[in-house]
Amino acid sequence: MKNASYEVLDIRISDTKEAIRGKNIFYKCNICESIIPSTPKDNVNCSCGNIGIDKDLNRLFVTDYSKFVILERKA
């Protein structure tokens, strides 16, 4: 399996509505180091539950924004 490389986007948000989404956009939790896609096919959470996406509500949930990082996947 090919390892993807990620670039950290310098975006600080205080509301999940500000978070960008996209095929190559991923969210990282700095507590548990999980990386989750911004456009998942199903509901997804990081391991510790700090970040989650509810696909049905089409909503992103973040508990601790200081541990939330937006990444862009590089080909």
How far is residue 18's CA from residue 5's CA, in Å, rounded to a whole number?
24
How would you classify residue 66: left for phi > 0, otherwise alpha for psi between -120 and 50, otherwise beta?
alpha
Count of residues of this chain found to bind Zn ion when the rule CB under 5 A is applied? 6
Can residue 50 be called a binding residue for Zn ion (CB under 5 A)? yes
48 contributes a contact to Zn ion by CB under 5 A: yes
Told to check if 36 binds Zn ion by CB under 5 A, we report no
- Element spanning 73, H or E: strand 68-74
The C-alpha atoms of residue 29 and residue 37 are separated, in whole angstroms, by 12
Query: Residue 38 interacts with Zn ion (CB under 5 A)?
Result: no
Q: Does residue number 44 form part of the binding site for Zn ion (CB under 5 A)? A: no
> Among 1-9, 19-27, 44-52, 57-65, which window interacts with Zn ion (CB under 5 A)?
44-52
Residues lying near Zn ion in the complex (CB under 5 A): 29, 31-32, 46, 48, 50
